[in-house]
């Protein structure tokens, strides 16, 4: 029963207590691990990193930020065209982050939520078998090319960010018992890159000054387009798997490890629609192989399609013992068809939504919960 469902991460409630009571209590018996809902600033995923971490870094310059709402600052993008953008300041060879273990905020939030998790589990609100799930974006998702228009800047910031992320993981596993902990890496940019949907920008100088009016919103810098053929799907696997080799082996074997592969939700889901699951499967296989330890689960989203060609690549999935969860819980009138098609190519899997719900309205949550309960009953 405890591996029927997976909750990816974000749930747009105000407190972790509300998340555990509203979703953990009714769904806990179907879950192996329970996330804290990524409440507050984390509900918009990587945007929190951009305004809480990057915008305050003295070695970075803010080039663009989300446009204000009626003259009032806005921290999260309205859509995919309205993002934070940064430039590494001239003369900085490598951006580094201080206060290791705490600078990015993941460990602080995890430890605060774990206390609530423990308390509610002891009271019987959450079932005793549940692990506490911490979901974090991998480096390439936290620092996508569209946020750093100068491609060479990514080479100067990613090593330092990866070190800071590794320190956060070390702090989390130091403070939370391994048998109680599950860590999930969230991979959205990685998946889009695998399909050639993330332009790998050439190392060209950014315009010295973006034109436009300054004021509440910083003028947006132009993004140089890549030359034809500058990004290949063949290179994308290695470009994204290096971070896995550097991060996942640092997680102790006693901690559960999972990967969430995502098609993106900014501006509405899906952010892009691949014709098949081919590149997602290739990426998942490569990540499992590169992990240097046991992988406990893989999450792959399913589009709302009954095109058999979309599902066929699942026959090539090699999870090596990891539990596979397919993101089929949406548009429930075609749920059974999607599940049946997937089972033709990969018979045994658990179920999940396509992503977290952080960008969904709170009013949608009762329906989302009901869909998960329906899915558990139908798959039961």
pLDDT in tens, 198-230: 765 333 222 222 323 323 332 333 333 333 333
State residue 233's pLDDT score: 66
Longest dimension (CA), the chain: 60
CATH hierarchy code of domain 5-379: 3.20.20.210
State residue 266's pLDDT score: 60
Cα separation of 165 and 144, whole Å? 15
Look up residue 139 and give its two tokens.
Answer: 């480096």
SS3 119: helix
CB 142 within 8 A of CB 162: no
Residue numbers in the chain where pLDDT is lower than 50: 201-231
- Strands of 59-102, DSSP E: 60-64, 85-88
Cα separation of 291 and 53, whole Å? 27
Whether the bond between 220 and the residue before it is cis, its omega within 30 degrees of 0, is no
State residue 269's pLDDT score: 60
Nearest to 194 by CA among 280, 270, 313, 263: 280
State residue 79's pLDDT score: 78
Cα separation of 34 and 49, whole Å? 23
State residue 273's pLDDT score: 81
Look up residue 141 and give its two tokens.
Answer: 């998702």
State residue 311's pLDDT score: 97
Give the contacts of 326 (CB within 8 A, at least 6 positions apart). Answer: 299, 300, 301, 302, 339, 342, 346, 349, 350, 351, 352
SS3 62: strand
CB 378 within 8 A of CB 2: no
Task: Give whole-number Cα distances, 320 to 99, 240, 295, 376, in Å.
Answer: 37, 20, 8, 24
State residue 128's pLDDT score: 96
State residue 231's pLDDT score: 46
Task: Give whole-number Cα distances, 154 to 88, 139, 186, 241, in Å.
Answer: 9, 10, 19, 16
- Strands of the chain, DSSP E: 5-6, 33-35, 60-64, 85-88, 131-137, 181-187, 256-261, 297-301, 323-327, 350-352
The DSSP bridge partners found for residue 186 are 137, 260
Nearest to 183 by CA among 194, 195, 172, 198: 172
């Amino acid at each position: 029963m405890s591996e029927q469902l997976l909750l990816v991460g974000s749930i747009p409630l105000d407190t972790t207590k509300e998340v555990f009571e509203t979703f953990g209590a009714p769904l806990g018996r179907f879950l192996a691990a329970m996330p804290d809902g990524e409440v507050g600033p984390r509900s918009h995923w990587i945007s929190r990193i951009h305004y809480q971490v990057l915008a305050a870094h003295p070695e970075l310059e803010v080039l663009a930020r989300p446009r204000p709402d009626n003259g009032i600052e806005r921290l999260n993008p309205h859509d995919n065209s309205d993002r934070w953008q940064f430039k590494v300041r001239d003369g900085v060879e490598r951006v580094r982050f201080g206060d290791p273990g705490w600078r990015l905020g993941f460990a602080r939030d995890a430890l605060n939520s774990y206390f609530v998790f423990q308390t509610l589990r002891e009271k019987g609100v959450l079932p005793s078998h549940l692990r506490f799930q911490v979901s974090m974006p991998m480096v390439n998702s936290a620092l996508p090319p569209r946020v750093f228009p100068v491609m060479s800047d990514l080479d100067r910031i990613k090593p330092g960010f990866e070190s800071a992320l590794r320190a956060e993981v070390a702090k989390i596993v130091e403070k939370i018992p391994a048998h109680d902990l599950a860590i999930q890496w969230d991979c959205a940019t990685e998946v889009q890159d695998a399909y050639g949907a993330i332009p790998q920008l050439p190392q060209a100088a950014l315009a010295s000054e973006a034109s436009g009016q300054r004021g509440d919103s910083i003028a947006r810098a132009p993004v140089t387009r890549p030359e034809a053929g500058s990004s290949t799907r063949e290179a994308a696997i290695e470009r994204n798997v290096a971070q896995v080799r550097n991060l996942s082996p640092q997680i102790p074997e006693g901690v559960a490890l999972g990967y969430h592969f995502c098609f993106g939700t900014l501006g509405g889901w899906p952010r892009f629609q691949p014709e098949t699951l081919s590149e997602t499967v290739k990426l998942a296989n490569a990540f499992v192989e590169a992990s240097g330890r046991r992988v406990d689960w893989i999450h792959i989203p399913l589009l709302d399609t009954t095109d058999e060609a979309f599902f066929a690549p699942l026959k090539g999935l090699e999870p090596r013992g990891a539990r596979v969860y397919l993101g089929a819980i949406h548009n429930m009138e075609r749920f059974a068809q999607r599940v049946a098609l997937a089972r033709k190519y990969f018979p045994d899997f658990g179920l999940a939504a396509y992503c977290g719900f952080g960008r969904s309205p709170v009013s949608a949550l009762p329906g989302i919960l009901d869909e998960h309960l329906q899915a558990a009953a139908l798959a039961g």
